[in-house]
Each structure stands twice: as structure tokens, then as C-alpha cells.
Amino acid sequence: MTGCVVCDGFGSVATSRTLGSIGEPGSSLESARKPAPESGVAALAAARTRFEALLDAAEARRTPRVSFRELRELGRLYQLHTALLARLRDTDDDPDEIRHLNHLCVRGYALLYAAAPTDRAPLGLRDLLAATWRVQLAAWLLLAAGGLLGAALVWTEPQALGALVPAQLGYSAGGLERLWESPEARAEFFAREATPFSQNAVFGSYLFAHNTRVGITSFATGMLAGIPTVVLQLYNGVILGALSAVFFRDPFPIDYLAWILPHGVPELIALCLCAAAGLLLGVAVAAPGRRSRAEALRDALRPVVLMLGIAAPLFGVAALTESFLRESALGTGIRLAVAGAWIAVTVGFLAWTRRLQRERRGDAAWLDELSIPGDAASAQASPKRSAR
């Protein structure tokens, strides 16, 4: 497995270790030259079947991954079949068998020795979930953990509301305390009245700038091994959980859900995408694996840029929804319908990307192009040798 690779024509490939053992007692090729008993023929047929099964299993996956045991077995079977291919090319007895063996050996060579291409295609939306689902799940779990922590702190110590919810969001400590203690104050909080367009525009601009700044901070600080990103995502969850604990004191907090969900769904998706991008950078810095940190960061750049590209317009949509829909006199039904539409779009997008991933198959047509020319030349030469 560690020897040099020797290519004979377009498809006849063998390692130097295999070629160096030609003619030696006990070698695969020496065994191939001797008449094989029935048990040997059955063993070769079983080896051929196993070799094809391993190749098919590896090529059926989106990325050719095999276990270490299967890789070792694949290398052994590859050496055996290259030795048999060399023997059959010498005798030129069976062109069809040569063509089939050559095709198998080319497939094995491409799996064992071919280097990964450097000019990879740009990462698409359908590949984003498969490439980043772990960090995205981690971002949502951090947000949920922070939410549970914030709600638990408020339920056990209501005076902590003023410390957990920053005043920059427009909630004073006294106002939060009244909301906690008085159902009438909570009902008054959700009173709906139309506001001027200019005021909504200014408010929306402020929301977009604020939320974008939070998302960029969560992403950029991922370079510090992802630790600040984790803390910031937890804190975002704490704020959400603390505020939600106030309004979930009511038996049916429908007004609160209609107030927060229409803009909260796209805003939270954008925040989690930024946090996932920061976590991806943190993994590349803290655990690059066998790659250098520069290579790991370069590999993480494409999904990071794509996630940020999705998050930016979501921040804009969330700001528009919060400033114009939330600050309007529209009823609860319309607000919940908007939130439901957002949730349906999100679920539909995830299902669409998952379906595309399942339908995607690798294109191995180039293997036929590699094997056909050499086999065609052999097929053309065989009648001439027979005539001689």
C-alpha cells in the first residue's frame, strides 16, 4: 500500500510492491500462473465479488469513506486483481475478462491513490446543511440551554429580571417588575395601535443595525477558539428565556406568541447561522486535525460565507417585520399566520435540501473513459496476434 504506483496504458495499474513480487514463490502473480484447483477458482470468484462490493459501497456514498478494516481489505484485493490483470494481459486470452478486470482496477486506483481535486465546486445551498449541520445544531442547543437557564433564574428570583434583560432593549427594571407582577400591565403591553411610517422606518433601521452587530460579533469572535461565540449565544438565550418567563405566567400567552414569533423566527435563524459560522471557525482554530490551521480555516471559509450571506437578508426581514408588523394594529390571527408561514418555509427548505442530498449520486462515467481506450487497443491487437 505504500509502494509507488505504476500505470500501464490507461488502466493497468499496480504498485511497485506487487510488481516486485512477480515471479517470487508465494506471490499473487506466481499463484495466478499455476493451474488453480476448483477451490482456488471459487476463492478468486469470492475475492472478485468482495472487491466489487467494496467499490460499489464506497462509490455509493457522497464521499468515498470506508472503515480502516475495509480499506486494508480493499488494498489487498486491489493488489491481487492488478496481478491477475498483468497476467491476463501477457497471455491476452480473454479480452472481455481483461476489460472487466481493468475497469475494477481503475476504480480501485481512483479510490486508493487518486488525490482530491483542488478546484472544488462552490458550496451550494443543498450542500450547506450536510456540511454544517453539527455546528448549526450546536448553536440551537446553546440558544435553548440559555433560554432554559434564563427562565429558571427568573422563576426562582424575579428580581434578577433587571440584570438579565439589558436596558438597551427598551425595558427598564421597574417596567419588567410591573410586567411580572401585574396581568393588567402585561395586557397593556400588548395594546396595538398604528404608528407613523417614519417612526417605523427609523426603528427598523436601528433593529437591523443592532441585530447585525450582534451576529457579526458572534461570528467574528469564533476565531478565539469559539469560546466567545458560545458565551454570546448562551446570553442571547438567557435574554429570550427571561423575557418569555414573564409572559408565560399567563395561562394562554397567545398575545405574546403573536408578538414575538413573526419577527423572532427569522431573527433567531439568522443569529444561529452567525453562531454556527463562529463555531465552525472555532473548530478550525482549536481542532484542525491533521491539517494546518490555515488549511482548516480555508476549508471553513465557503460554508461560513454562505451562512453569513443567508443571515444578512434574514436580519433585514426580521427588522422590517418587527418595525412594521409588530408595531401595527393587525390582529392576532394575521400575526400568527405570518409566523406559521415562516416556520413552514423553514421546514420546507430543510426537507428540500435533505431530499436533494438523498438524490445526489456520484458520476463515475470518467472511469469508463479511462478504461475503454486501453481495452480497445488490446482488443484490436488480439486479432493480429492470433493471425500470427
| pLDDT band at 331; cut points 50, 70, 90 | confident
Decide if pLDDT at 185 tops 50: yes
What are 157's three cell numbers? 428570583
- Tens-digit pLDDT profile for residues 234-254: 999 999 999 999 999 888 889
What would the grid cell of residue 334 be?
A: 394575521
177 and 76, same structural domain? no
Q: Report the percentage of the chain scoring pLDDT > 70.
A: 76
- Check the CA dihedral 345-347-350-352 and report its sign: negative
Which of the four pLDDT bands, split at 50, 70 and 90, describes residue 364?
A: very low
pLDDT band at 38 (very low <50, low <70, confident <90, very high): low
Of 118 and 124, more confident:
124
Mean pLDDT of the 41-65 span: 80
Residue 90 and residue 185 share a domain: no
Q: Is residue 387 part of a domain?
A: no
> Do 68 and 181 have their domain in common?
no
Q: Are 173 and 242 in contact (CB under 8 A)?
A: no
Q: Are 97 and 227 contained in the same domain?
A: no
Residue 355: inside a domain, yes or no? Answer: no
**Within-domain flag for 369:** no
Pair 165, 200 in one domain: yes
Q: For position 243, what pLDDT does the model report?
A: 92
pLDDT at 376 over 60: no
Domain co-membership, 133 together with 111: no
Residue 72 lies in a domain: yes
Segment 334-346 mean pLDDT: 92
From 116, 138, 172, give the residue that closes a domain.
Answer: 116
pLDDT of residue 358: 61
Same-domain check for residues 95 and 165? no
For residue 373, tell me if it sits in a domain: no
Of residues 337 and 383, which shows the higher confidence score? 337
Kindly state whether residues 163 and 39 are assigned to the same domain: no
Q: Phi/psi zone of residue 7: left (φ > 0), alpha (ψ -120 to 50 degrees), beta?
A: beta
Answer yes or no: do 71 and 136 share one domain. no
pLDDT tens digits for range 142-158: 999 999 999 999 999 98
Domain range for residue 138? 125-330
Residue 5 host element (H or E): strand 5-8
Indicate whether 191 and 260 sit together in one domain: yes
Cα dist from 334 to 55, 186, 262, 268, 344, whole Å: 55, 21, 10, 20, 15
Would the pLDDT of 12 be above 80? no
User: 150 and 107 in one domain?
Assistant: no
Domain final position from 116, 133, 165: 116
Q: Is residue 370 part of a domain?
A: no
Long-range contacts of 287-291 (CB under 8 A, 24+ apart): none
| Residue 336 counted as domain residue | no
Sign of CA dihedral 96, 101, 102, 104: positive
Q: Is residue 60 part of a domain?
A: yes
The total of structural domains in the chain comes to 2
Say what percent of the chain tops pLDDT 90.
Answer: 33
Highest mean predicted confidence (pLDDT) among 61-65, 107-111, 357-361 = 107-111
Q: Give the pLDDT score at 357.
A: 59
Which residue, of 65, 88, 116, is where some domain finishes? 116
Pair 149, 292 in one domain: yes
pLDDT category of residue 356 using cuts at 50, 70 and 90: low
